[in-house]
Chains A and B, each alone.
Chain A
Amino acid sequence: MVDNPRTPPIITAMEEKEVEVKAPAQEKVPDESPKENLIPVFIMGKRFFVPESFTIITAMEYVGFQFKNAVGCREGFCGACATIYRLEGDYKLRTGLACQTVVEPNMHLAQIPFTPAVKAVYDISKLKPELVSIQRYYPEVFRCVACNSCTKACPQEIEVMDYIQAVKRGDLETAADLSFDCIMCGLCAVRCPAEMVQFNIALLARRLTGRYLLPRSHHLEKRLAEQREGSYEKDIEELMGLSRKGLTKRYTERDLDFEVF
């Protein structure tokens, strides 16, 4: 009971008549934390006191956890530290990245280091940039009930539901654009009542967009054609043959040109 004082005693109405209900025995919990600026948080139900300005990751390390999973870049780019939590007195299940979320008093948290996920195996060169490609591998995309749970769960504030709708319309480019900042933490998929894996669907939409739908760069194609002639190898070999002094001269005398194209 100490771990989670909010949990009410489980008693049915029938039992209530027969049994005298006593308030659960409370173990004495000091009201004040042991040191200044420390606040209580509950990590998988167990209470620890941590510095109030720390992120979840650094707070857990402070109390002695050494991460072997559920941690990665620590800067919000890798999606390894997906975390769910509730705050005292609030029914809402919240989501966040442990490296980007500052602890709050009486936060009850658990990390989700891994999301079991359907991942299609495909040859990108044999796919068409159309809805049918996604439908073939992820037909569950049509189970979406537009409940918006995914969007609410996204720590990147991505309009997840909107990009799923775009996929359903066959508008892969919009889906790619809306989902671009996805770090594949898995929280959308965990919350989805239609049991789809949004982040893998989005990844397929983006790869199809990148390969087929974005216009090709003529500059790049021209450069590649030039290179097939091998012209730059010779130029560079000339530089490689220079003395350090000669090379330094060429470097300091090189012109700066910041024109766009």
Chain B
Amino acid sequence: MSGYPEYMQASLKKVAATRPARLEKAREGREVVKAMTLAEREDVLNKFHPDYLPDARKPVRVGPNKGEEMTSRVVDLLESYPRINPDDFDLSEPDYDTDVLIIGGGGGGCMAAIQVANAGMNAVLATKLRVGDSNSMMSQGGMQAAVNPHDSPTIHYLDAIGGGHFDNNPELVQAMTIDAPRIAAYLEELGVMWDKDSEGRLMTESGGGTSRRRMLSCRDYTGAEIQRVLRDEVKNHPDKITIVEYSPAVELLLDEAGEAAGALLYNMETGEYNVVRAHSVIISTGGYGRLHIKGFATTNHYGATADGLVMAYHAGTKLLYMDSVQFHPTGAAYPEQIVGFLITEKVRGLGGQPVNKEGELFVFPLEPRDVEAASFIRESTERSLGIETPTGRVGVWLDSPIVNLLNGPGTIQTALPAMVRQLKRFGIDMTSEPMLVYPTLHYQNGGIEINADTETTLAGLYAAGEISGGVHGRNRLMGNSILDYNVFGYRAGHAAVQRAKALVDRPPAKLHMDHVRAYRKELEEAGIPETSHAPILLPEYRNPEVLKKHRKDYDPFLGEFI
């Protein structure tokens, strides 16, 4: 029985009718559709990628990047007033004194915490929800590492930097691609179960923009498998790592020299604020999908609200490429309950093909993500060859049944169990019918500027993972985000330990939030009205009808009466 409404059946028949010919071409190993030239890529991006819409960007009026154009929603967040008033807090008696404070309990934060513990130092790992609650947990497809004989870190480097439109920071790409095989081995040592054949060879798949099969995977639970192992390892060091859950940081704290030396945590359950003092601070709070830029649905975790970005910016840290948003080409577009959910790129890595209403394969299936996404938008808008959903959305087909025909029966079930299960829950059998997909807000390409040691422009502050910018230029390739948080989480842990070791004998730092006062003043002087506050911590999904019935002086973002 079809999982799709009656009116879509004619189009589904066309997809099935063109499948044998498409399959034959793919079987012969021919290019199923010609890949775009750089000029063609640029053209489709300029016309159809959401980053290039007229009001997509505007200049930010305050802070270290003042005058620079950024994504408009990000500018609004950076031009929001701090949530707290520094005068309300006594910072002289910290609740936690530690060597390294790690803000963010996703993959990068966990990887860093393990390094700190292994170096014999203490860490506080503060996180907004539970340890492991993160986008890291959700990534499905895989992690790039050049392990095959005919591949190399050099080729990986070239793929990553071309995919990022040559805007990547070369030093960071070098670090990432060189470290990749080591990281794969390190994770194996920790007990991560990479997909292997019976002789131990790591299974590799292609990804958009890669010139080799380089994607290591753990079925399609790659992120979940790595994250649950890292979380478990963090919990194997209770004497070294203090985990503080449900306590997001709301501002960084600086020392007398103006260097990062702690953070103010907000216990969301009790409403109390806690002060953490540390020799080094690592920030790894992830990205901003839950800002729903341009109204797009997102693949991101509930907690992805760019909190760390805001705090670091308040403290004077420079940001990079905050004008560039990654839209994943294949977000679910039907049924309504799963709109925006990630349909892993691995489906296309295994041979899945994007086809339009007429059953035509309209784009090379593995273009870099931004190009692929822009092509989907072009097909659905200008060319009117998308498929409308009953709720007025539009999407294109991602022909998944072809995967089993191409690779043998049962491939989908073995390689993509999460995908099969998730769609089955909502009535779609991806082994017999295609999926309906449309681009969805996926990744923050830019972020805090770092060097290969994860140092930011603020001494004492290190950044790792999606919160950082420069690794991926203006477009990240599939499989480089898991790699990014592992490589730079690892490096951040070691760099933070080096600094902490050097400072361990200094007298206790005198903490302050003068930077928050200064930031507020800068906002006032720029004539920006105080209509919103940040970091926002939680996205707002409550029914406006309910919010209207709150007390008028209640600020739902601050959770307080104002």
- Size of B's binding interface in residues, CB under 8 A: 92
- Do A69 and B246 touch across chains, with their CB atoms under 8 A apart? yes
Find residues 114-162 in chain B having any chain A CB closer than 8 Å to their own CB: 129-130, 132-133, 135, 137-138, 140, 146-150, 152-155, 157-159, 161-162
> Is the CB of B337 closer than 8 A to any CB of chain A?
yes
For the complex with contacts A183-B224, A237-B174, A258-B213, 13 further pairs of A-B residues with Cβ separation under 8 Å are: A61-B541, A69-B246, A123-B236, A181-B219, A181-B418, A181-B421, A209-B193, A211-B190, A214-B194, A215-B200, A224-B181, A239-B161, A240-B174
Give the complex CA separation of A217 and B233 in angstroms.
23
Determine whether B269 belongs to the interface, using a CB cutoff of 8 Å to chain A: yes
CB–CB A75/B299 < 8 A: yes
**B508 CB–A CB distance under 8 Å:** no
- Assess whether B211 is in contact with A254, with CB atoms less than 8 Å apart: yes
Cβ-based interface call for B301 (8 A): yes
Number of A-B contacts (CB under 8 A): 234
Check B152 against A207 for contact (C-beta < 8 Å): no
Which A residues touch B170, using CB under 8 A? 239-240
**Known pairs A227-B178, A227-B181; A258 contacts B133 (CB<8 A):** no
User: Does A67 touch B at the CB level, under 8 Å?
Assistant: yes
When the two chains form their complex, are residues B137 and A239 in contact, meaning their CB atoms are under 8 A apart?
A: no
Q: Indicate the size class of the contact surface on chain A.
A: 35 or more
Q: How far is the CA of A206 from the CA of B226 in the complex (A)?
A: 11
Q: How far is the CA of A184 from the CA of B229 in the complex (A)?
A: 12
Q: Which residues of B contact A206 (CB under 8 A)?
A: 191, 193, 225, 229
From residue 28 to 70 of chain B, which have CB atoms closer than 8 A to chain A? 29, 37-38
Q: Which residues of B contact A61 (CB under 8 A)?
A: 541-543
**B193 lies within 8 A of A58 (CB):** no
With beta carbons under 8 angstroms apart, the residue of A176, A217, A247, A261 that contacts B193 is A176
| Interface flag for A139 (CB, 8 Å) | no
Partner of B178, one of A236, A239, A244: A236
**Which B residues from 456 to 494 make CB contacts under 8 A with A?**
none
- A142 CB-CB contact with B under 8 Å: no
Bound Cα distance from A235 to B154, whole angstroms: 6
Per-residue interface assignment for chain B, residues 172 to 196, with 1 indicating a CB less than 8 Å from any chain A CB and 0 otherwise: 0010011001101100111111101
- Docked-complex contact B542 and A232, CB < 8 angstroms: no
One of B6-14, B201-209, B393-401 contacting the partner: B201-209
Residue B438 interfacial (CB < 8 Å): no
How far, in angstroms, from A63 to B545 measured CA to CA in the complex?
Answer: 9
B247 to chain A, nearest CB (A): 11
Cβ distance A9 to chain B, nearest Cβ, rounded Å: 34
* With A121-B235, A215-B200 as contacts: A73 and B137 at CB distance below 8 Å: yes
User: For residue A63, which residues in chain B have a CB less than 8 angstroms away from its CB?
Assistant: 543, 546
- In the complex formed, the residue of B with least CB distance to A120 is B236
Contact with B along A59-73 (1 / 0, CB 8 A): 001111111110111
Instruction: Determine whether the beta carbon of B236 is less than 8 Å from that of A65.
Output: no
Q: Which of A11-19, A24-32, A76-84, A187-195 contacts B (4 or more CB under 8 A)?
A: A76-84
B190 engages A239 (CB within 8 Å):
no
Scan B522-562; emit 1 where CB is below 8 A from any A CB, else 0.
Answer: 00000000000000001011110011000000001000000
Q: Report yes or no: B138 in contact with A77, Cβ–Cβ below 8 A.
A: yes
Task: Assess whether B221 is interfacial by the CB under 8 Å rule.
Answer: yes
Residues in A whose Cβ lies below 8 Å from that of B546? 63-64
